[in-house]
């Protein structure tokens, strides 16, 4: 049985596909993921480094110790603890965390992974990078979609460029918040006077109308934070155009999973802006 948690399976390649996790499973989705893994898998692996675990993390290791399938083995970033999946390990995994990427030192052991009885991977994660993938047969994919449709909807098949595109999209999204915070600091200084406020509003309106997805998202976040109610009409017009296929960025338009995910994120953002500006009701779901 392989002890390398980050190596992809060469077993039954023709029957299995690799799916990228576009979003971190949290709450109910995390619980469903663990329960599905217990059903499909035989063992799980966590990575432990000496002296780098919190008391809670060490307690988790002690709870799992009776379930270990052999001695810890050297691996990337520390020693690999392989333990049997069952009701006892399920309870530990669900009690210790409520999200997949919480498995990261020093709070907890690193990189929760699940393996099949033949030793091939079912789920592999690198929590520090917020990366994860699942290897599924078509039947397993159907079962997952039936039992956990929300989780199945964030899996992108890694065909050709799709996996790279999904990773790029997620990385880009992670850069938005720091950029918004930086620009807000500058904008708040400018909006102290009425003339400066109008200048900021005009500049953000240019971004909203630019059609550039990153500029639009940053502008929307800033409009909400600055409470620029004078732009409410433009935001309502933007909301009305969300059902138009032309509103979807070309970068994700050809991928049904990424397209649906983009539209859902943009709906939530626009609705949140309008709530901050004191306008209207939420859009109906697709």
Q: What is the C-alpha to C-alpha distance for residues 247 and 271, in angstroms, rounded to an integer?
A: 16
Q: What is the C-alpha to C-alpha distance for residues 197 and 278, in angstroms, rounded to an integer?
A: 19
For residue 82, give the H/E element and its range: strand 78-84
pLDDT over 90 percentage in the chain: 43
Which 8-state DSSP code applies to residue 9?
P
pLDDT of residue 19: 81
Which 8-state DSSP code applies to residue 13?
T
pLDDT band of residue 163 (cuts 50, 70, 90) is low
Q: What is the C-alpha to C-alpha distance for residues 108 and 215, in angstroms, rounded to an integer?
A: 37
Q: Is the pLDDT of residue 66 over 90?
A: yes
- 144 contacts 36 by C-beta, under 8 angstroms: yes
Return the percent helix, strand and coil in the chain, to nearest 5. 55, 15, 30
pLDDT of residue 161: 52
Q: Helix or strand or coil: residue 137?
A: strand
Q: What is the C-alpha to C-alpha distance for residues 8 and 198, in angstroms, rounded to an integer?
A: 54
Q: How far apart are the first and last CA of the chain?
A: 45
pLDDT band of residue 279 (cuts 50, 70, 90) is low
The CB density around residue 282, as the number of other CB atoms within 10 Å, is: 13
Q: Is the pLDDT of residue 216 over 70?
A: yes
CA 92 from centroid of its chain's CA atoms: 23
Quote the tokens at residue 274: 């309008």
Place of tokens 């469903």: 32
Q: What mean pLDDT, rounded, does the chain reach?
A: 83
The CB density around residue 65, as the number of other CB atoms within 10 Å, is: 10
pLDDT of residue 160: 43
pLDDT of residue 11: 42
This prediction has a pTM of: 0.57
Domain spans of the chain, in order of start: 16-170, 175-276
pLDDT over 70 percentage in the chain: 86
Q: What is the DSSP string of 185-251?
A: HHHHHHTTSHHHHHHHHHHHHHHHTT--HHHHHHHHHHHHHHT-GGGHHHHHHHHHTTTSGGGS-HH
pLDDT band of residue 153 (cuts 50, 70, 90) is low
pLDDT, tens digit, 9 for 90 and up, residues 100-148: 999 999 999 999 999 998 888 899 998 988 888 888 888 888 888 887 7
pLDDT band of residue 10 (cuts 50, 70, 90) is very low
Q: How many CA atoms lie within 13 A of 17 on its CB side?
A: 17
């Amino acid at each position: 049985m392989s002890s390398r948690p980050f190596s992809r399976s060469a077993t039954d390649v023709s029957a299995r596909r690799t799916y990228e996790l576009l979003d971190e499973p949290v709450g109910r989705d995390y619980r469903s993921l663990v329960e599905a893994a217990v059903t499909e898998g035989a063992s799980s692996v966590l990575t432990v480094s000496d002296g780098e675990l919190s008391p809670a993390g060490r307690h988790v290791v002690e709870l799992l110790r009776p379930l270990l399938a052999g001695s810890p083995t050297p691996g990337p970033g520390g020693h690999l603890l392989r333990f049997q999946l069952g009701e006892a390990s399920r309870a530990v995994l669900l009690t210790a965390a409520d999200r997949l990427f919480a498995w990261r030192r020093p709070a907890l052991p690193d990189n929760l992974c699940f393996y099949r009885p033949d030793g091939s991977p079912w789920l592999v994660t690198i929590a520090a990078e917020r990366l994860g993938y699942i290897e599924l047969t078509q039947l397993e994919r159907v079962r997952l979609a039936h039992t956990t449709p929300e989780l199945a909807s964030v899996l992108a098949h890694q065909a050709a460029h799709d996996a790279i595109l999904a990773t790029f999209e997620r990385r880009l999204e992670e850069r938005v918040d720091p950029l918004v915070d930086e620009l807000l600091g500058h904008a708040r200084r400018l909006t102290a006077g009425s003339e400066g406020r109008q200048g900021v509003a005009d500049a953000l309106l240019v971004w909203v109308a630019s059609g550039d997805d990153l500029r639009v998202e940053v502008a929307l976040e800033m409009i909400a934070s600055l409470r620029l109610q004078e732009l409410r009409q433009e935001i309502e017009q933007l909301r009305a155009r969300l059902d138009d296929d032309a509103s979807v960025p070309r970068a994700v338009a050809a991928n049904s999973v990424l397209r649906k995910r983009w539209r859902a994120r943009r709906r939530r953002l626009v609705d949140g802006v309008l709530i901050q500006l004191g306008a209207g009701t939420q859009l109906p779901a697709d």
